[in-house]
């Protein structure tokens, strides 16, 4: 059984990926400082508590488990917080990735799957967005993810570390068996905020209804977290077998407006959700939809769970 180090494995996407790895016959080793992850979410494989900027702690884990590859989720991810605290995002995301790559090099580990983001593109010049789209992030979160991609490219060229950087669009949904769920604090994602409003009978803030879309609300590409997890396993196996580095979009190629998601949530929960129209949030493009043909072709990856109703149903469940 291959030992795979999962940085940030106690978080939302990381924990779902650990479950998928275990089901595929791997032994996921979670390395997490629990600043945003949850100890109770580590149910598949051991948990080692530590910070990715601590190279000594990382080195001990690599030695202890004889790790063969890395899936790197550990990151600060809240866009608004990154604008207020850019220095902490550069320190955690960029310096942490640099620390991880240096320790990988020391231990002759040459495979890493990296959790990136569509935020590296900034305002879309075209929709759907291809991987060749200009990389012009508009916030420190996106900037740090792009810096990490650049580090990966340099370490591939100089040290032979092969990578796949997966640029997610909107991760959503929950484990269909309800063993895991989304648990961010603070929560900034649309669907859990909608469901919280439904459950607690509280108003839901809809940020802007005057976008250049058919119903005036933002359009986004939502992808089920279990489909994201499967893409990480396929990326891992592709790298092990092919050793060709890639940056790949992960999305469905279909966008839904905030209004469409709101109406679907009302139907699935059978709850009335009272909306309050608020001002637009700075930096919200009208539409963000992925062109994910490359991931489908290269990885033979096809989303199975990402129907909008299934995403909301599993999250509500």
Considering the domain architecture, whether residues 183 and 47 belong to the same structural domain is answered as no
Model pLDDT, residue 282:
76
Q: Tell me, what CATH number does 116's domain have?
A: 3.40.50.720
Q: Tell me, what CATH number does 210's domain have?
A: 3.90.25.10
Considering the domain architecture, whether residues 116 and 28 belong to the same structural domain is answered as yes
% pLDDT > 70, the chain: 100
Angstrom CA distances, 32 to 8, 35, 37, 300, stand at: 5, 8, 7, 30
Cβ 191 vs Cβ 268: under 8 Å: no
8-state DSSP, 279: P
Considering the domain architecture, whether residues 138 and 214 belong to the same structural domain is answered as no
- Residue among 43, 41, 51, 58 at smallest CA distance from 5: 58
Cβ 260 vs Cβ 215: under 8 Å: yes
What token pair was written down for 34? 């629990």
Is 141 one of the annotated active-site residues of the chain? yes
- Residue among 117, 113, 69 at smallest CA distance from 250: 117
Model pLDDT, residue 151:
98
Considering the domain architecture, whether residues 239 and 310 belong to the same structural domain is answered as no
Q: Please check whether residue 258 lies inside any domain of the structure.
A: yes
Q: Please check whether residue 119 lies inside any domain of the structure.
A: yes
How do residues 155-187 score in pLDDT, each as one tens digit? Answer: 999 999 999 999 999 999 999 999 999 888 878
Identify the three-state secondary structure at position 37.
coil
How do residues 190-208 score in pLDDT, each as one tens digit? Answer: 999 999 999 999 999 999 9
Cβ 203 vs Cβ 276: under 8 Å: yes
User: Residue 105 belongs to what H/E stretch?
Assistant: helix 96-106
Model pLDDT, residue 186:
79
30 has a pLDDT exceeding 90? yes
Model pLDDT, residue 158:
97
Considering the domain architecture, whether residues 217 and 99 belong to the same structural domain is answered as no
- The residue segments making up the domain with residue 94 are 3-171+223-250
255 has a pLDDT exceeding 80? yes
How do residues 266-313 score in pLDDT, each as one tens digit? Answer: 999 999 998 999 888 877 889 999 999 999 999 999 999 999 999 999
Q: Please check whether residue 298 lies inside any domain of the structure.
A: no
Q: Please check whether residue 27 lies inside any domain of the structure.
A: yes
72 has a pLDDT exceeding 90? yes
Model pLDDT, residue 284:
82
Q: Please check whether residue 294 lies inside any domain of the structure.
A: no
Cβ 306 vs Cβ 174: under 8 Å: no
% pLDDT > 90, the chain: 91
Stretch among 66-75, 83-92, 152-161, 201-210 having the lowest mean pLDDT: 201-210
Model pLDDT, residue 225:
98
Give the mean pLDDT of the chain. 95
Look-up of token digits 């569509």? 118
240, 243, 248, 252: CA torsion to nearest 10: -40
315, with CB counted inside 10 A (0-12, 13-18, 19+), is buried
Model pLDDT, residue 46:
98
What token pair was written down for 206? 């809809």
- Residue among 61, 10, 70 at smallest CA distance from 35: 10
Annotated catalytic residue within 141, 155, 168, 222? 141
What is the number of residues in the chain?
A: 317
**Domain count of the fold of the chain:** 2
How do residues 90-129 score in pLDDT, each as one tens digit? Answer: 999 999 999 999 999 999 999 999 999 999 999 999 999 9
What token pair was written down for 221? 């590409």
Rounded CA separation 150/94 (Å): 10
């Amino acid at each position: 059984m291959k030992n795979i180090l999962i940085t940030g494995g106690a978080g939302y996407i990381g924990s779902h990926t650990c479950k998928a790895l275990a089901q595929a016959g791997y032994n996921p080793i979670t390395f997490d400082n629990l600043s945003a992850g949850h100890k109770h979410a580590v149910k598949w494989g051991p948990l080692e508590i530590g910070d990715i900027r601590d190279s000594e702690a990382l080195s001990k884990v690599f030695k202890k488990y004889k790790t063969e590859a890395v899936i790197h989720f550990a990151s600060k991810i809240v866009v608004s917080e990154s604008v207020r605290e850019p220095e902490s995002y550069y320190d955690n995301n960029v310096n942490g990735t640099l620390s991880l790559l240096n320790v990988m090099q020391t231990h002759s580990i040459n495979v890493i799957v990296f959790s990136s983001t569509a935020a590296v593109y900034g305002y879309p010049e075209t929709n759907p967005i291809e991987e060749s789209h200009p990389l012009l992030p508009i916030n420190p979160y996106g900037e740090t993810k792009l810096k990490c991609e650049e580090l990966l490219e340099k370490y591939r060229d100089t040290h032979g570390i092969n990578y796949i950087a997966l640029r997610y669009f909107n991760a959503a949904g929950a484990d269909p068996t309800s063993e895991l769920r989304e648990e961010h604090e603070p929560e900034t994602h649309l669907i859990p905020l909608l469901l919280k409003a439904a459950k607690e009978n509280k108003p839901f803030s809809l940020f802007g209804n005057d976008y250049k879309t058919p119903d005036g609300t933002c359009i986004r590409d939502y992808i089920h977290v279990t489909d994201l997890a499967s893409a990480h396993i396929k990326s891992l196996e592709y790298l092990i077998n092919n050793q060709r580095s890639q940056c790949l979009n992960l999305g469905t190629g279909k966008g839904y407006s905030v209004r469409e998601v709101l109406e679907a949530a009302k139907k699935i929960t059978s709850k009335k959700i009272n909306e309050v129209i608020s001002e637009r949030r700075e930096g919200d493009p009208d539409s963000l939809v992925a062109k994910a043909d490359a991931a489908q072709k290269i990885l033979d990856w096809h989303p199975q769970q990402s129907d909008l109703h299934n995403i909301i149903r599993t999250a509500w469940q």
